[in-house]
Structure 1
Amino acid sequence: METDCTRGEAPVNNAPIGPIGPIAALPAGTRLLHIGPHKTGTTAIQGALFAAKDKLPEHGVEFPAATRHPMEAALAACARPAMIGDAVPTEKHWTRLIEQVEATGTRTSVISSEFFADAPDDEIIARIVRQLGGDRVHILVTLRPIAKIMPSQWQQYVQNGLRMGYENWLEHMLRKAPYEKPNPSFWRRHRHDRLVERWVRAVGADRVTVVVVDDSDRDGLMRTFEELLGLPENLLQAVPDTANRSLTLAETEMLRKLNVEFRGNGLPDELYSKLVRNGAVMHMKNTCSPTGKDVKISTPAWAVEAAGRIGAEIVERIDTMGVRVIGDPALLCSLPAIPTQSGPPAVEARIAPEVAAQALYGALAAAAAAPVRHTAEAKSRTVHQTSSKELVRILGHRCLKKLRRR
């Protein structure tokens, strides 16, 4: 199969883009495992399923997880580390989710976490499938074009401590073999043909469904899940989630430079989790919405073209696997429009004062939730007698000590 890459939302090889036909529902009693990967609408689906949790049973469906996203359970199952500074997931998280799934009995159930896409090898994937029900498990993979995923994934890595700029990061991901630094998880997740192939080896092609997400159809993914699960139309509704919005270029750059200072001063990871990611960044995202004046993260032309070529390879390989594909595969190698360089120079990304203030307040509020008392060490020297680097380190360790005590 030859696949040409196109720009925008135009069809590839004259394939039609529009409403797809009726989707056959999965057999009753199926345990649907949605593995993402990241940046393919997972948060929206998880929020909608969790919001409808009490309505699903009357239609023969259960959402067994106790939270919107059973991230700790998925991380434990895949033997993956936690987000920087977070508590380490344990086997108890995974065992608890298995018990909740088993409690659904013969009813259909759905489990969703993009971190299942991080499963490192066939042995762990086979274990996940076996413990979730073996032959009852059906794998669902949601996919978007690589070119659209790259900027979103980069800023998400920055939220977890990455210090590398976007273009440098693209160089490493696309031009510097073996393409594993600084984020080996990226291609593990987003070389989508290999991702699908790994799970096909575990369950067979007849129990894998690939859904191509069409960004021009805002509710299309919700309707697809409803049809697969045999739910009434419009039962699943999007739940606003400002905390999951992507950062603007200025916000990301501010955070990236903070990451450089944070690492350079040797502060503990737990402090980053408490004060930066779940303090400054979370409060900023919840209180500040991007406007038309904010500069978006822009991918250079060479990287867009490279992503398009990879997308074409992904489409070609998935086409040979025999899995069910819902949606238009041509979208996976469509390329976003690349802004022309003619005209006035691009506006420099600048963080708005109110955005910076909200981020600072978020960090202060997180610190205030665990007030820190002075210790004898602090009283033994004046501020002017202590280097700024040492002051930052002392403050960080004191905050962390108090947070742990609480």
Structure 2
Amino acid sequence: MVSGITPLPGNVRLLHIGPHKSGTTALQGAANLARSRLAEQGVSYIGQGRTPVKPVQAVTGRPPMLGGPTPNEEDWQGLVDEVTAAGDQRALISSEFFADAPPENVPRIVEDLGGSQVHVVVTLRPLGKVLPAQWQQYVQNGLRTSYEEWLDIMFNRPHERPNSMFWRRHQQGDIVERWAEAVGPQNMTVIPVDDSDRGMLLRVFEGLLDLPEEFLVPDDRQANRSLSYGEVEMLRSFNREFKDQRMPGSFYSTYIRHGAVKRMKVAYQPPKGSEILTPEWALERAAKLGADSAERISALGVNVIGDLERLSDYPSNRAGTPDPDVSLSPEAAAQAVLGALGAVRRQNAAASGKSTKTGKAGSKKVAPQDQQLRDVTGRQLAGELFTRGVRKGRRVRNRVLGRKGN
């Protein structure tokens, strides 16, 4: 057990609500990897897979990601039943999508998951570090707005589209106050994440769950790095074409998010210096909001593990104006294309498996023309990704050569 942290009661429902980009993937990957070992320690990790996306989207009223499956009430009830089945054991429920819950939905979530047994944990990072990470995540869901325009909307027109949801999940003082009101400040813990200590978050959860030290280990298979600025700009350009062609959202989910982007994240590592830069004015506004949130959270009387002053950090090494002439590595474009083509192969293999099933009630054969359509569409999307990447590289090269010739 981590020293200095009091374990929560043996029948607690530890509800980790994120929000996004606050270390959620690292925690969820480690918990999912240790699922069977957690059970031996009397801890049930709730949900199927890394995190229960559909059930939480259902109870928060959040729509699915572009092309994703539509959640329903049965999804949420299934998660509630799993929590109930934990009985007197500790239960860990983690999803950043809980942070999207509107105020009127929060009491229902708490009551459904156990009422007085629920202890809410919020993990927070400086808003200046969240901004670029969140923007590139939105682009991975089809956003076509540039970073500077998006920042202008977020700070100066916060209730406009796109992504008016941003402040519900990232107005840090509001989210802590909202959930503390539902469970009581004594049943809420805030963790300002220390980015300089990559194991800090896992050690804290070990302490809260009364686990041996270093019980939770990172799952290296769960790659969730942020995209480089060049990668995001290539994808944003592709998103415009995808929208213009009016293609079904399911194609984006299958071939782009779970195909091209997923492989690019795993198989390619951008060089240092390719990160997304944030204009100084936005970082200054973010630091001020962080300081205000730290003051509000401190006054609420919730449990705090870590230093709230981190919320006002100004990441000066990430300050700057995004380069409109940013280039994209040919290797990154190639990995994106391979990812899309890999998704084509997986889709065709799955369709072929379905078409060979016989003798089962309700089974349907996949029409050859439907399989061919998926194959052609996937390859077209892969080709468009490659074209966008190459076109971007040529445009940058020509501008550079043109400047040298002047």
Following the alignment from structure 2 to structure 1, what is the Cα–Cα distance between the partners of residues 212 and 348? 50
The reply on whether 1:125 has 2:102 as its aligned counterpart is no
Q: Equivalent of 1:318, from 291, 294, 297?
A: 297
Deviations along 1:154-183, one digit per CA (max 9) or x if unpaired, are: 00000000001111110110122x444210
The reply on whether 1:217 has 2:172 as its aligned counterpart is no
CA distance change for structure 1 residues 150 and 202 in 2, over 3 Å: closer, same or farther? Answer: same
Deviations along 1:112-156, one digit per CA (max 9) or x if unpaired, are: 00000000122x111111111111001000000000000000000
Following the alignment from structure 1 to structure 2, what is the Cα–Cα distance between the partners of residues 182 and 212? 27
Following the alignment from structure 1 to structure 2, what is the Cα–Cα distance between the partners of residues 97 and 256? 35
Following the alignment from structure 2 to structure 1, what is the Cα–Cα distance between the partners of residues 319 and 25? 33
Map of 1:381 onto structure 2 = none
Q: Equivalent of 1:57, from 8, 22, 39?
A: 39
- Contact 2:16-2:121 at 8 Å conserved across structures: yes
Q: Equivalent of 1:329, from 288, 303, 308?
A: 308
Map of 2:276 onto structure 1 = 297
- Contact 2:41-2:211 at 8 Å conserved across structures: yes
Unaligned runs of 5+ in 2: 350-368, 379-406
The reply on whether 1:161 has 2:138 as its aligned counterpart is no
Following the alignment from structure 2 to structure 1, what is the Cα–Cα distance between the partners of residues 113 and 319? 50
Following the alignment from structure 1 to structure 2, what is the Cα–Cα distance between the partners of residues 32 and 395? 45
Offset of 1:370 from its aligned partner? 4.1
Map of 2:329 onto structure 1 = 352
State the TM-score, normalized to the length of structure 1.
0.83
Map of 1:76 onto structure 2 = 58
Offset of 1:60 from its aligned partner? 2.5
The answer to which structure has the higher helix fraction is: 2
Work out which structure has the larger RCO, using CA pairs closer than 8 Å and 6 or more positions apart in sequence. 1
- Contact 2:51-2:95 at 8 Å conserved across structures: yes
Q: Equivalent of 1:191, from 166, 171, 174?
A: 171
CA distance change for structure 1 residues 242 and 249 in 2, over 3 Å: closer, same or farther? Answer: farther
Amino acid at match of 1:128: I
Offset of 1:201 from its aligned partner? 1.6
CA distance change for structure 1 residues 42 and 144 in 2, over 3 Å: closer, same or farther? Answer: same
Deviations along 1:329-352, one digit per CA (max 9) or x if unpaired, are: 0101011115688xxx97942111
- Contact 2:276-2:318 at 8 Å conserved across structures: no
State the TM-score, normalized to the length of structure 2.
0.83
- Contact 1:40-1:144 at 8 Å conserved across structures: yes
- Superposed counterparts of 1:1-400, under 5 Å: 22-122=4-104, 124-176=105-157, 178-241=158-221, 243-292=223-272, 295-338=274-317, 348-370=325-347, 398-399=373-374
Following the alignment from structure 1 to structure 2, what is the Cα–Cα distance between the partners of residues 65 and 354? 36
Following the alignment from structure 2 to structure 1, what is the Cα–Cα distance between the partners of residues 271 and 281? 27
CA distance change for structure 1 residues 62 and 174 in 2, over 3 Å: closer, same or farther? Answer: same
- 1:111 partner SS: strand
- 1:25 partner SS: coil
Identity of aligned residues (%): 47
What is the number of equivalent residue pairs in this alignment?
358
Offset of 1:365 from its aligned partner? 2.6
Offset of 1:363 from its aligned partner? 1.6
Following the alignment from structure 1 to structure 2, what is the Cα–Cα distance between the partners of residues 401 and 80? 32
- Contact 1:71-1:115 at 8 Å conserved across structures: yes
- 1:244 partner SS: coil
Deviations along 1:84-106, one digit per CA (max 9) or x if unpaired, are: 01110122221111111111101
Amino acid at match of 1:211: I
Following the alignment from structure 1 to structure 2, what is the Cα–Cα distance between the partners of residues 165 and 397? 35
Following the alignment from structure 1 to structure 2, what is the Cα–Cα distance between the partners of residues 101 and 40? 24
